[in-house]
Structure 1
Amino acid sequence: MSFVTVEQSPAFEFRVRGRVQGVGFRPAVWRMARELGLSGEVLNDGEGVLLRVRGDQSRIAALIQQIERDPPPLAHIDGIERRRYGGELPHEFRIAESIEGPARTQVAPDAALCAACAAEMRDPGERRYRYPFTNCTHCGPRLSIVTAIPYDRATTTMRPFPLCAACEAEYRNPKDRRFHAEAMACPRCGPSASLIALSGCAIPRSGDADVIETTARLLARGEIIAIKGLGGYHLACDATRPETIVRLRRLKRRDAKPFALMARELAVIRRFCAVDAVEERELTSVHAPIVLLRADGPARLPDTVAPGLDTLGFMLPTTPLHFLLLQGLDIPLVMTSGNLSDEPAIIDDADARRDLADVASFALVHDRAIANRVDDSVVRVMSGRPRVLRRARGYAPSPLRLPAGFDRAPDLLAMGGELKAAFCLVKEGQAILSQHQGDLENAATFDDYRKNLALYERMFDHAPSAIVIDRHPEYLSSKRGRIEADRRGALVIEALHHHAHVAACLAENGRSFDAPPVLGVVLDGLGFGDDNTIWGGEFLLADYVGYERLARLTPVAMLGGSRAAREPWRNLYAHVMAAKAAGAAGLADPSKWAALNGKPLALLERMMARGINAPLASSCGRLFDAVAAALDICADRQAYEGEAAALLESLAATRVDVREGYDLEILDRPDAGLMEIGSAPLWRAIFDDLQRGVSAAVIARRFHLGLAQSIVEVATRLATRRYFETIALSGGCFQNRVLFESTVERLREAGFKTLTHAQVPANDGGLSLGQAAIGAAHVIRANAIAIRKDKTCASAFPAASSA
């Protein structure tokens, strides 16, 4: 149906905010407006999209409704503001040129290959047949190639590739899905792939095969190949060849940490893993993350892929290059980060040639630069919902809308933690989380962290008036935060580590600024407490402004300090000795535990007695390590962070008929003003079961269930003393599926409302969101007090400290 434009109708201007650039938003609006017979224009600027329209008001209303109801697949609308417009407008609706200005729009995450582009690459009649850089406004690179905004081709790493006439015509045609697709290209004008030898090997002749087909044949014959991906290099090999995987582990110096896998389609994944409907939806989503799946399909991959674990991390092809590579392979590939162990993934071509030559025989490369390192995201489905464990490709830098009341916050920067670091910007009521950065103790990772701070400042025109840091004085993120604050003259706000975990869970779940406190249960490895001791098993009555510590796990010595986090046997000895000191009857002498045989126990006993390098810690992570060591699971040394806990969880997930867990004791400590979960009964029960020959799987399961039950028991007792209805679960230990699901189920049965993480990690990768919420609450409250000239606090708890 066609309409006649009413020339003298009133005109309106609509400001559309959100992720609306580089996602096909303007051509979608253009098509809708022309179908409705409206005149006007739509354009990009620094704040998002500006829509100016004249016509019948009912048709204008219909246009706005259609925009909100049916935006392009990658678009996300945060809000639409309307006002009258008095300027001139064209008689026909058009797409106008972009206007530069302050950066207030969003940069989209990198998006997985869409179905339309995949179909083109399979069709010999299409000019992009088998072209490994095919994309459109519905898919392709975004964050990994952007250098500034507005998001135009000139501000991406596609700038060196001028469009050919055919691509230019598509780029200029609003009816084409490649209209202003900034990364678009074709074989005539775009990037190209090549296969190079890294270790002196000759590239085999393969007849008419292109470089991608040749790469696939090399992988099938057992070669290790470096592949330049979207946000960094990968190292790939045939996942069905144990000898190749062993060689990759040796050369990459990655002894046991599980490898990520990629398969061409769900049917291949289902040969090795069970995939439910929620997991399938995540695998095939535009985010295309690695999804942790139960490894109980009809076929088995070599144990060397994920030693000792009952899960495999699979993803589907994320780019056109990966899509083409996997088409001829009926096997899954190992697709792990292109680096040496503990280093960040390589993004520079020269670095890849230098550093990966001793690992890979060949490299499949291309000539489009990677502007920004972006790791693969990781997701796990627990209690029926996908939970992000690592937030990077496909998710960052999509913002999260902060809850009601936070729109009053000024620009803030939260620096995150030391491990699994990510920072967070607060701007106009939104939290913008960076991609996963990694462990800042690594110099290259810390350099990347600082580079991304500067990038995000430019991309979002961000000038923080306050910077929020972890209270730990030695965190590199905290030290950098103070430097940034000095440079800007900004306020520094210190946030307690475990309070930030709770606040992150509250913010993600939309808990309003003035909502009553919740009981936050935070279980993790360690964090700096407000009493200058190490915390890691905490029950905090908390809101955004403050907290009160109500309960904890009983503190136990970390023998050797940081070495205790790497050597589980140290934690076993410390816990057994603590249980004996607590009067646990019938507990075996430590020398009778297999994992402690031949260890220097006398030396450790003197360390504990004298308090030398043996700080007390209420760490749940170290409790997991101790139980793992009791079962002789990597007791001497963990090959990677969390290995002992992961292997213990895999044992606990075994199908064993266990419904009741071990008893832990709930203690009142009037001297500390706290309730405690003591583990003395646990150790006596574990040793008795070991003596009776009870299987390790049963013991592991009983430990998990007992810990979950003790959490519920503490919460129930605390609820009789202090008012709360809601419990927030956070911390890395709640990425353990057995513990998480057991705890959530029991809390709900006990009548509590439970808040949990899904969009941001429960581990330290989500810490900066909580820091940002705490900092924003601190500033909002301070401003409100200044306005009222009233010293009354808005919370019953101590506020985050400022320095």
Structure 2
Amino acid sequence: MKHRIRRRITVTGQVQGVGFRPFVYRLALEWGLGGVVRNTPEGVVIEIQGTDATVEGFSRDLTEKLPPLARILSLEASDMPPLPGDAAFVIGESAPGAGHNVLISPDVATCPNCLADMADPANRRHNYPFTNCTDCGPRYTITRSIPYDRATTSMACFPMCPDCAAEYADPLDRRFHAQPNACPVCGPKVWLTDAAGTTLAEHDPALAALARELAAGRIAAVKGLGGFHLACDAGSDAAVAELRQRKNRPAKPFAVMVPDMAAVERLAAPGALDAQAQALFSGSVRPIVLLATRPDGPLSALIGPDTRETGVMLPYTPLHHVLFSHLSRELGPERFPALVMTSGNAGGDPICLGNREALRRLSGIADIFLLHNRDILVRTDDSVVRPIPDAPPPAASPGRREDAEAAPGVQFLRRARGYVPSPVRLPVTGPCVLGTGPHLKCTLCLTKADQAFVSQHIGDMENLSTLAFYREMLAHFQDILQVAPARAVCDLHPDYLTTRLAEEELGLPVIRLQHHFAHIHAVLAECGHGPEAGPVIGLALDGTGYGGDGTLWGGECLYVDPAGPVHERLGHLSPMRLPGGEAAIRQPWRIAMGMLSDMGGEARAFTPPWLPAQDRAAALVVQMLEKNLNCPVSTSLGRLFDAVSALCGVGLQVDYEGQAAIRLETIQDMAETAAYACPLRRDSAPAVLDTLALVDQAARDLARGVPPGVVSRRFHLGLLDGLTELAATMADVRGTRRVALSGGCLLNRTLSRELPDRLRGRGLFPLSHRFLPPGDGCISLGQAAYGLLLRDGTSGTDNP
């Protein structure tokens, strides 16, 4: 008889809800092994028993033949005494206990096999909107706690029918231990109501009726995976205009959903569907992808009036697929099947979660409501990404292990559904730290050993409902990760809700970190740049952050050494005044007036495009500037974009953040090659990048009749030259070659695509975001990573 051995293997990572235990079971059967696999607080524990050769074969296949959604972070193996007679392999009950080392999977788009089931009229799941298996379906949004078993999800109240139970128990079935498994007999159902909650139709007829209403121009609230969408016909000017009016969203772009890649191809501008874009559309996440679209395409021009990009996504739930199958029949071949799918909220509130909540909050917007009875436990918006064509592999720090998901060419604008709660691997480890996040585009972050878990997009912390959502997520993350933070890191700004929460509610030691240094620490964390990798130069470029000197920063050249950690402000853009404070952000012409008042000669002779419409307001602004009343000072690149946009006449007033800058970038004449001069002034410390000179040259050109598109391109090129010179000069002075890039202005396509190339041309190594947005959605990660660097819990060295 051959020698038999027993081996214990402990696996941590994304190994729950992804078919990992069924995979282990089938693998053990293939190799003829006995033993058990179960969830435990340590991770997934496997005990296998067989001959040397079969145990070794199993161990090799375990890592080489993983299910598509599984991700192993660590694997430990040790041999143990064999158990007499243990010839069968079983899936054991989950072991209770405090703490765990497994990850909940993000939600996963419907797989091809389930789509085939739904398309088959003879299949019992034909057109069933909650079809799923171990390779797809809801995970994070239906999970209450760990371990990920049916009893800890919102499927607990749906006992399986005999057919579903047989699938669930059959190791050869792809629904073996699929926790959300269901069918029309035993699972959730959908129904359609009017705004008063009166039921109009149920089951598949409800989806068919919804399609008819949408085709007729009605606005619907549709309960989806992580919350509600507001939907309407994306090809109808009347429907889109009505949605804008009801939602009080005059111009901010809407996202659209189309049924398949053929529809995407009809929308895409020539060359826009490169390999990176196609991978994003066809993958298992199905985020909103910013796509350059044809100006003469089939969508309403009101979808995104300020930009040539449209946020496009493909169906990612069975419900969406069934809806589009009905919609295509309703519209017929003459009309293009596309739906606006925008977050189901109003007034800056979080996305609606429950049926009663949606009827209460959205009844003034939606005509009809598609509801279902599977509870959403965690509200989660759609993720938004932009493909970056021909992007080189992201630079990493010395010794960094490249993660498979660190693909080049993807920029996050919003990280939520499909990506959360996957962690970011950190270059350091330590106690649990809470990064409380920023004021706008807030996320929170908790660390666990060498992993950072950043929440989905929470929103702008400007009302009590968003604060309540924040508290929900803080409690939920602590529960699913089973951690308790030892310290909290918050922003310098004393009036942020996240700062007040850290200092008044949590009962933890609190450390403050300036906003733009948090940006740079986030980039370093994502790129694995730890204390041993040395200092970097950071360019933090955004709208506004409370500075260490009490002014409003936003165009900063920083020195960051994570070994200290040491922080220093080396340079910034020309200071500018914001007449009226917040009013200047809403009306960028005020900023332009402030900058013109600091210049003379030909620039002051420029006839502003905001006159005569703003004669009276402009007269008041002149007085404010002369007396320097309510004119806070800022070095913000975002405000500089606003000022030049106003000078060009395309951004006099904004309805949403970034609108003026988007318009300025969109009008660029890409045939123009001349750049405005942007001198670096080093006669003071910090140094000043003379961006006032850019505005002066722009005003002079406009006064001479140079077209705004040419002015915009010359401005962008001059800014690129200036930022490159600033970073290269400071890198030479400080003896480093790495430059970290962060801040919301990196969402400007011109900066995000051209600035890294220019830095490389100067022999520098740009470090960019890989897993999070460059905007404020990364701040909580930077705060938490900084908190881990402080071994004794005290703050590092700052020199603002």
Common fold: TM-score over 0.5: yes
Instruction: Note if contact 1:199-1:361 (Cα within 8 Å) is conserved in structure 2.
Output: no
State the distance in 1 between where 2:798 and 2:204 align: 65
Shift of residue 74, structure 1, vs aligned partner: 1.5
- TM-score where L is the length of structure 2: 0.92
- Following the alignment from structure 1 to structure 2, what is the Cα–Cα distance between the partners of residues 738 and 189? 52
- The C-alpha deviation readout for 1:355-391, integer Å capped at 9, x for no partner, is 2222222111111111111000000112530111100
CA positional deviation for 1:396: 0.5
Q: How does 1:438-449 map to 2 (within 5 A)?
A: 438-449=459-470
Judge which range, 591-600 or 755-764, deviates more: 591-600
Q: Residue in 1 aligned with 2:60?
A: 65
Shift of 1:349: 0.8
Aligned residue in 2 for 1:463: 484
- Do the aligned residues in 2 keep the contact of 1:258 with 1:305 (CA within 8 Å)? yes
1:193 aligned to 2:210?
no
**Letter of the aligned partner of 1:11 in structure 2?**
R
The amino acid across from 1:765 in the alignment is: G
Question: 1:595 Cα deviation (Å)?
Answer: 5.3
Partner of 1:786: none
Task: Determine if contact 1:12/1:52 at 8 Å carries over to the other structure.
Answer: yes
Paired with 1:568 and 1:484, the residues of 2 have a C-alpha distance of: 37
Task: Encode CA deviations 1:645-702: one digit per residue, 9 max, x unaligned.
Answer: 12222222x6x311232222221242xx121111233223222322333322222222
Match of 2:398 in 1: none
Corresponding residue of 2:556: 538
**Aligned-residue offset at 1:203:** 4.8
Among 395, 410, 417, the alignment partner of 1:386 is: 410
Counterpart check, 1:661 vs 2:681: no
Counterpart check, 1:748 vs 2:760: yes
By how many angstroms is 1:577 displaced? 1.9
Q: Tell me the distance in 1 between the aligned counterparts of 2:683 and 2:174.
A: 66
1:442 is displaced (CA, Å) by 2.5
Q: 8 Å contact 1:577–1:590 — kept in the other structure?
A: no
Give yes or no for the alignment of 1:492 onto 2:510. Answer: yes
SS of residue matched to 1:716: helix
Cα 1:800–1:199 change in 2 (3 A) is farther
Opposite residue 48 of structure 2, the aligned amino acid is V
1:133 partnered with 2:130: yes
- Map 1:494-533 onto structure 2 (within 5 A): 494-533=512-551
Corresponding residue of 2:596: 576
* Contact preservation (8 Å) 2:573, 2:689: yes
Equivalent residue letter for 1:106: L
Q: What SS is found at the alignment partner of 1:77? A: strand
Equivalence for 1:98: 94
Which SS does the other structure have where 2:584 is aligned?
helix
1:785 counterpart residue number: none
Uncovered stretches (5+) of structure 2, i.e. residues with no partner:
329-335, 392-408
Structure 1 counterpart of 2:152: 155
Q: Is the 8 A contact 1:503 1:543 kept in 2?
A: no
What is residue 620 of structure 2 aligned with on the other side? 603
Deviation at 1:59, TM superposition (A): 3.1
User: Does the CA-based 8 Å contact 1:576-1:590 persist in structure 2?
Assistant: no
Change beyond 3 A, Cα 1:223–1:745: same
Aligned residue among 367, 376, 381 for 1:375: 381
> CA offset at residue 491 of structure 1?
2.0
Amino acid at match of 1:379: V
SS in 1 for 2:39: strand
Structure 1 equivalent of residue 287 of structure 2: 289
Q: Any idea what SS the aligned residue of 1:106 has?
A: strand
Q: 1:60 to 1:315 in 2, by over 3 A?
A: same
User: Which secondary structure state, in structure 2, belongs to the residue aligned with residue 469 of structure 1?
Assistant: strand
Partners of 1:800 and 1:56 in 2: CA distance: 64
Identity %: 40
Provide the C-alpha distance between the structure 2 equivalents of 1:162 and 1:799, rounded to a whole number of angstroms: 58
Cα deviation for residue 297 of structure 1 reads 6.7
Q: Secondary structure at the match of 1:364?
A: strand
The secondary structure found in structure 1 opposite 2:363 is: coil
Count of aligned positions: 766
Structure 1: how far apart are the matches of 2:212 and 2:18?
A: 36
**Quick one: distance in 1 between partners of 2:708 and 2:289?**
27
For the aligned residues, what is the CA RMSD?
2.2
Q: What is the match of residue 798 of structure 1?
A: 797
Partner SS state of residue 306, structure 1? coil
Aligned match for 2:425, one of 398, 401, 405:
401
Preserved CA contact (<8 Å) 1:466 1:485: no
| Structure-1 separation of matches of 2:301 and 2:209 | 28
Q: Name which of 217, 224, 249 aligns with 1:254.
A: 249
**Per-residue Cα deviation, 1:523-558 (whole angstroms, up to 9, x for no partner):** 001111121221100011113322211110011112
Instruction: Provide the rounded CA distance (Å) in 2 between the counterparts of 1:585 and 1:109.
Output: 59
Query: What code does the residue aligned with 1:191 have?
Result: P
**Offset at residue 463 of structure 1 (A):** 0.8
Quick one: structure 1 residues 323 and 119, their matched pair in 2 at CA, closer, same or farther if it must change by over 3 Å?
A: same
- The correspondence of residues 592-631 of structure 1 with structure 2, limited to 5 A, is 592-594=608-610, 597-631=614-648
Residue 146 of structure 2 aligns to a residue whose secondary structure is coil
Q: 2:231 aligns with which of 227, 236, 252?
A: 236
C-alpha distance in structure 2 between counterparts of 1:661 and 1:133, whole Å: 55
Distance 1:710 1:595 in 2: 31
**2: CA distance, partners of 1:632 / 1:573:** 13
* Partner residue in 1 for 2:396: none
- Summarize the Cα distance change of 1:74–1:484 in structure 2 as closer, same or farther, 3 Å threshold: farther
Conserved? CA contact 1:199–1:358, under 8 Å = no
C-alpha contact (below 8 Å) 2:574/2:635 kept by paired residues: yes
Q: Whole-Å Cα distance in 2 between the matches of residues 620 and 342 of structure 1?
A: 25
| Cα separation, 1, equivalents of 2:52 and 2:198 | 69
Q: Say which of 705, 712, 715 aligns to 1:700.
A: 712
Contact 1:402 1:429 in 2 (8 A): yes
The one of 301, 310, 316 aligned to 1:312: 310
SS at match of 1:720: helix
- Secondary structure of the 2:232 match is strand
What is the distance in 2 between the residues matched to 1:507 and 1:466?
18
- What is the CA–CA distance in structure 1 between the aligned matches of 2:642 and 2:456, rounded to whole Å? 29
- Distance across 1 between alignment mates of 2:751 and 2:672: 14
Any idea what the Cα deviations from partners look like across 1:95-150, whole Å, max 9, x if unmatched? 11111222422111111111111111001121111100001111111111111111
**Aligned position for 2:168:** 171
Quickly say closer, same or farther: Cα 1:64–1:256, change in 2 above 3 A: same
Q: Spell out, residue by residue over 1:723-760, the C-alpha distance to the aligned partner (whole angstroms, 9 max, x if none).
A: 11011110000011112212112111111111111310
